[in-house]
Amino acid sequence: MLEHKLENGASVLYLSGVWRLANLAAISDSLRALDLKGSREFLLDGSRLDALDTAAGFTLFRHLNLLGCTEAMVSVRDFKPRHARLLKLVHERMKCPPAAARSMHLGLVQRVGASAIGVWRQLKSHNAFVGAVALEVFDLIPRPRRFRLRETVSQFESVGLDAVPIVALVTFLIGVVFAYLLGQQALRYGANIFVVDGVGLAVCRELSPLLAAVVVAGRSGAAFTAQIGTMKVQEEIDAISTLGLSPLQVLVIPRLIAIMVALPLLVFVGDVAGIAGGMLVAAWQLDIAPQSFLDRLHDVLPLRSLLVGLGKAPVFAAFIAVIACRMGMLVARDARSVGVNTTSTVVQSIVWVIVLDAVFAVAFQRLGI
Amino acid sequence: MDRVLEVDSIVTRFGAEKIHDGISFGVARGEVVALIGGSGTGKSVLLKEIIGLLRPAQGRIRLLGTDVWRATPAELNALRRRFGMLFQDGALFSSLTVAENIAVPFRENTDLPMDIISPLAGFKLALVGLPPDAGRKTPAQLSGGMRKRAALARALALEPEILFLDEPTSGLDPVGARAFDSLVRLLADSLGLTVFIVTHDLDTLLSVIDRAIVLSAGKVIADGPVAAVMKAEDPWIREYFSARSPLALSGAGS
């Protein structure tokens, strides 16, 4: 690779063989093994060089620089014309000073402070978004013509209608599981019939609203974020603004209204499916005929339970929609961002739904509902 | 003459539509060749077929001695290390910084340690004329021209023998476009690179190109030095070269 000779007081470096990227490790080693201290002049001899590329040329010059050589101390001889041209280009480009490495290490206090400020700013901008959406909704009341019915109905189809099979299936199965669980306990006391009370209450008040909201958050929340996020990356939202339309009116409001109408309806579907599941288990395992089940249900399930479940739904829906649309608007211009934000939407929505459910539970208990 | 690229009787179909109907040409080592043609004539499609991304219906492509569509996966991977491709908008990895982008070919294809790769990546940045602090930025933070240069640096990472460029000057301002052309010519001359450019840009054609291949209606209608192609009888070629004032044309084909 490299041979060092002293000729006429100057250090001559004979480069030989294949000086290419593939051999860079060997080249670096040969350079490091050289003892060039005390030499004032360097002559690079390329007569034995078979091949040369920019990586090898750069490595050579860099090593010479690190030894303290200046331009005046280095000269070349006997290089083939194409190798000489390459060396000239490499040398020229290396004249740029290297970038100063910035220290990225922040202390603990700095990190905590920076995070706190970041979170505060995020909260402020989330708040501003919610406010802007609310303003747009109120703006629709005196000007109902601005409402985009077609978009809303289209969103309703994907959020509501397309979700019916999944919500029905999931709540049906939960109804089955719950009835089975309760039934095992009730059998011990010969109180089979109380399964009807339990299933009716649990499904209508808690299980159906919660499950429907989780399914919608996963399906539609993620979809909203991905759709709006991709539009943001492709500058479609800017295009909407430029045409004099409000992106909130065009994108967010239809989704918000659609989901707030769809979720209560899906909760109702869930109620029916969940109770049907309970009825199935009651008939097969607990000797309660369907007609008896329905008679008892009619007696013990207050309308209030059903309405509580249906009433929670629009609140869940509003949270899901606002979170999903907001995360969509926040998508950045890199490939990871859509995925990261979509995941965040689903997680945030589910957490908020459960928190709200807990708040409702306590509130209703206090209010005696 | 050492032919680095041989395209032989390529036929391409999209559904019932025939995009290419018997395309044949060759590129010799060290040439800077341009592929031109109207929109929709399948130039970018042909480029993708040459580098192994899209399969033609019929025909053969020999790149650096390897038959692209009859090679084994291992042979194709070895071939991929010998050419560089610049996609139309750079196609940089958006989640990585520029320096990390340039380091990717080194990290994936060599065993070199990071303390050799980092300065080498920095050198590639300098090679394409980017300032050193560009390495720290992500592609979204760069202008279009800088993105293309960064992508060029990545394409040059493994010291390729042939460089493919897909509309490199599209979206660049005239000064930036001419600077990019000069850079490509300098690299070709200094490094002995063969360059294959798909382009619309008349100014590129008239300044740094050795030979032009013209695609029209699925066939090659002209193939030769730019000055000769300019004199061809075909109406599209006439119109293409006259879309420019006579003043600019007088310095052409040098």
Mean pLDDT for the stretch of residues A244-254: 93
pLDDT at B251 over 70: no
To the nearest whole Å, the CA of A231 is away from the closest chain B CA by 16
pLDDT at A48: 87
Q: Pick from A7, A70, A23: which is nearest to B159 by CA? A: A23
Structure confidence by residue, pLDDT tens digits, B95-112: 899 999 999 999 988 889
Residues of B in contact with A335 (CB under 8 A): 93-95
Smallest Cβ distance to A333: which of B136, B140, B158?
B140
To the nearest whole Å, the CA of A65 is away from the closest chain B CA by 13
CA distance B178 to B187: 14
Name which of A99-108, A121-130, A208-217, A258-267 the model is least confident about.
Answer: A99-108
Alpha-carbon A96 to chain mean position: 40
Structure confidence by residue, pLDDT tens digits, A287-307: 899 999 999 999 999 999 999
Check the CA dihedral A265-A270-A273-A274 and report its sign: negative
To the nearest whole Å, the CA of B185 is away from the closest chain A CA by 12
| Cβ–Cβ below 8 Å for B95 and A336 | yes
Residue A255 host element (H or E): helix A253-285
* A171 beta partners: none
pLDDT at B254: 45
CA distance B70 to B55: 11
Residues of B in contact with A340 (CB under 8 A): none
Strands A17-19, A10-15: pairing kind:
unpaired
Q: Pick from B27, B24, B61: which is nearest to B162 by CA? A: B27
Structure confidence by residue, pLDDT tens digits, A69-123: 777 778 888 888 888 888 888 888 887 655 555 666 778 999 999 999 999 998 8
Structure confidence by residue, pLDDT tens digits, B21-63: 999 999 999 999 999 998 888 999 999 999 999 999 999 999 9
pLDDT at B93 over 80: yes
To the nearest whole Å, the CA of A84 is away from the closest chain B CA by 9
* A77 beta partners: A45
To the nearest whole Å, the CA of A303 is away from the closest chain B CA by 53
- Three-state DSSP class for A99? coil
- State the CB neighbour count (10 A cutoff) for residue B215: 23
> By CA distance, what is B123's nearest residue in A?
A94
Contact between residue A34 and residue A42 where contact means Cβ atoms under 8 Å apart: no
What is the full DSSP assignment across A117-148? HHHHHHHHHHHHHHHHHHHHHHHHTT-GGG--
Q: Pick from B175, B236, B164, B169: which is nearest to B205 by CA? A: B169
Contact between residue A221 and residue A319 where contact means Cβ atoms under 8 Å apart: no
CA distance A103 to A109: 16
A25-32 long-range contacts, Cβ below 8 Å, gap at least 24?
Answer: A25/B111, A25/B112, A25/B116, A26/A1, A27/A1, A27/A2, A27/A56, A27/A59, A27/A60, A28/A59, A28/A63, A28/B116, A30/A1, A30/A2, A31/A2, A31/A59, A31/A60, A31/A63, A32/A63
Residues of B in contact with A89 (CB under 8 A): 127, 186-187, 190-191
Structure confidence by residue, pLDDT tens digits, B175-216: 989 999 999 999 999 988 999 999 988 888 888 999 999 998
- Residue A224 phi/psi, 5-degree rounding, is -60, -45
pLDDT at A326: 95
Mean pLDDT for the stretch of residues A167-181: 96
Average pLDDT, chain A: 90
To the nearest whole Å, the CA of A196 is away from the closest chain B CA by 55
To the nearest whole Å, the CA of A98 is away from the closest chain B CA by 6
Best-predicted range by mean pLDDT (A35-39, A61-65, A222-226): A222-226
* B23 beta partners: B10
Contact between residue A25 and residue A57 where contact means Cβ atoms under 8 Å apart: no
| Cβ–Cβ below 8 Å for A334 and B140 | yes
* Interface probe with B: pick from A61, A64, A92, A93, most Cβ of B within 10 Å: A93
Three-state secondary structure string covering chain B:
CCEEEEEEEEEEEECCEEEEEEEEEEEECCCEEEEEECCCCCHHHHHHHHCCCCCCCEEEEEECCEECCCCCHHHHHHHHCCEEEECCCCCCCCCCCHHHHHHHHHHHHCCCCHHHHHHHHHHHHHHCCCCHHHHHCCHHHCCHHHHHHHHHHHHCCCCCCEEEEECCCCCCCHHHHHHHHHHHHHHHHHHCCEEEEECCCHHHHHHHCCEEEEEECCEEEEEEEHHHHHCCCCHHHHHHHCCCCHHHHCCCCC
| Cβ–Cβ below 8 Å for A58 and B159 | no
pLDDT at B236 over 90: no
Residues of B in contact with A103 (CB under 8 A): none
Q: Is the pTM of this model over 0.80?
A: no
| Cβ–Cβ below 8 Å for A334 and B95 | yes
Strands B211-216, B32-37: pairing kind:
parallel
> By CA distance, what is B114's nearest residue in A?
A25
Sequence-distant (6+) residues with CB within 8 A of B142 are: B98, B134, B150
Mean pLDDT for the stretch of residues A207-212: 96
pLDDT band at B252 (very low <50, low <70, confident <90, very high): low
Residues on chain B bordering chain A, Cβ-to-Cβ distance under 8 angstroms: 93-95, 110-112, 116, 119-120, 122-123, 126-127, 131-133, 135-136, 138-140, 156, 158-159, 186-187, 189-192
Sequence-distant (6+) residues with CB within 8 A of A40 are: A10, A73
CA distance B9 to B21: 8
- Three-state DSSP class for A302? coil
- Residue A3 phi/psi, 5-degree rounding, is -135, 135
- Three-state DSSP class for A19? strand
Smallest Cβ distance to A20: which of B119, B156, B159?
B159
| Cβ–Cβ below 8 Å for A332 and B190 | no
Contact between residue B220 and residue B23 where contact means Cβ atoms under 8 Å apart: yes
Q: What percent of chain B has a predicted confidence (pLDDT) above 90?
A: 62
Sequence-distant (6+) residues with CB within 8 A of A318 are: A256, A259, A260
> By CA distance, what is B135's nearest residue in A?
A99
pLDDT at B246: 61
> By CA distance, what is B187's nearest residue in A?
A89
To the nearest whole Å, the CA of B89 is away from the closest chain A CA by 14
CA distance B36 to B16: 24
CA distance B27 to B36: 15
Smallest Cβ distance to B132: which of A54, A97, A336?
A97
| Cβ–Cβ below 8 Å for B138 and A334 | yes
Q: What ipTM was predicted for this assembly?
A: 0.83
| Cβ–Cβ below 8 Å for A54 and B123 | yes
Residues on chain A bordering chain B, Cβ-to-Cβ distance under 8 angstroms: 20-22, 24-25, 28, 53-55, 58-59, 62, 82, 85-86, 88-90, 93-94, 96-99, 102, 332-336
pLDDT at A31: 85
Contact between residue A16 and residue A49 where contact means Cβ atoms under 8 Å apart: yes
Contact between residue B145 and residue B90 where contact means Cβ atoms under 8 Å apart: no
Q: What is the residue type of B194?
A: T
Interface contacts (A, B; CB < 8 Å): 73
Q: Per residue in A121-141, is it b (16+ CB within 10 Å) or e — as a string?
A: eeeeeeeebeeebeebbeeee
Contact between residue B197 and residue B168 where contact means Cβ atoms under 8 Å apart: yes
Smallest Cβ distance to B126: which of A22, A53, A93?
A93
- Residue A259 phi/psi, 5-degree rounding, is -75, -35
pLDDT at A12: 85
| Cβ–Cβ below 8 Å for B116 and A28 | yes
To the nearest whole Å, the CA of B223 is away from the closest chain A CA by 27
Greater confidence (A72 vs B126) lies with: B126
- Three-state DSSP class for A10? strand
CA distance A94 to A77: 20
Q: Pick from B49, B61, B45: which is nearest to B8 by CA? A: B61
| Cβ–Cβ below 8 Å for B119 and A55 | no
* Interface probe with B: pick from A21, A53, A59, A340, most Cβ of B within 10 Å: A21
Residues of B in contact with A88 (CB under 8 A): 190
Order of strands across the sheet that contains B58-63: B17-28, B3-14, B58-63, B66-67
Structure confidence by residue, pLDDT tens digits, A150-164: 999 999 999 999 999
Contact between residue A209 and residue A309 where contact means Cβ atoms under 8 Å apart: yes
